[in-house]
Amino acid sequence: MQIFETKINGIKVIHPKVINDNRGYFFETFQKERYQKLLGINYEFVQDNFSRSFKNVLRGMHFQVDYPQGKLLRVVQGKVFDVAIDIRKDSPTFGQWVGMILSAENNKQLWVPPGFAHGFLVLSDIADFEYKCTNYYDSKSERCLLWNDPTINISWPISNPILSAKDKLGKSFEELF
């Protein structure tokens, strides 16, 4: 397993060790002690989530104010453009974003610590997305940052994604912060 830093402190890309042979492949998607040591974290994961989405669906940019969630993300089937925005007000990268392709083919995982808004755009016909969370979902604490906020200026691969009613009502960065 290899860990790579990103331009934003705390967000890390994980390349798991994949064992291939004539039967297919195998890799560990999580092992508590190894992940905690290599990521330099001491969080406990309390909830696993799974979503299936279709091409051009954008889910995000979500976060929780009272119960922030760290997330260990991966794509089981398909391909997504995954984005995390630093919303830690005391961070030198406050308001900056990181985006990357996560896919079933590249097997990359992404660690996004608490204090980030998160979302993804589906690039394949179907994407099955799985993530572990360090805190429980709390609907009263959830907020949504507008996916195309001009202050953040994310370089999404498409300009007209399919959004949920909730995501269409996302607030601007200036309104939230």
Query: Is 136 among the catalytic positions?
Result: no
Q: What residues have CB less than 8 Å from 15, skipping those under 6 apart?
A: 1, 2, 3, 4, 107, 108
Cis bond before residue 100 (omega within 30° of 0): no
In a 10 Å sphere around its CB, with 0-12 CB exposed, 13-18 middle and 19+ buried, how is residue 117 labelled? buried
Among 35, 43, 62, 118, which one carries the catalytic annotation?
62
8 A C-beta contact, residue 148 and residue 156: yes
Among 15, 131, 136, 137, which one carries the catalytic annotation?
131
Structure tokens at 158: 């498409």
Across the beta sheet with 126-133, what order do the strands follow? 2-5, 12-15, 109-112, 71-77, 126-133, 47-54
Cα–Cα distance measured from residue 146 to residue 58, given in angstroms and rounded to the nearest whole number: 11
Query: Is 131 among the catalytic positions?
Result: yes
Cα–Cα distance measured from residue 113 to residue 81, given in angstroms and rounded to the nearest whole number: 18
Active site residues: 62, 131
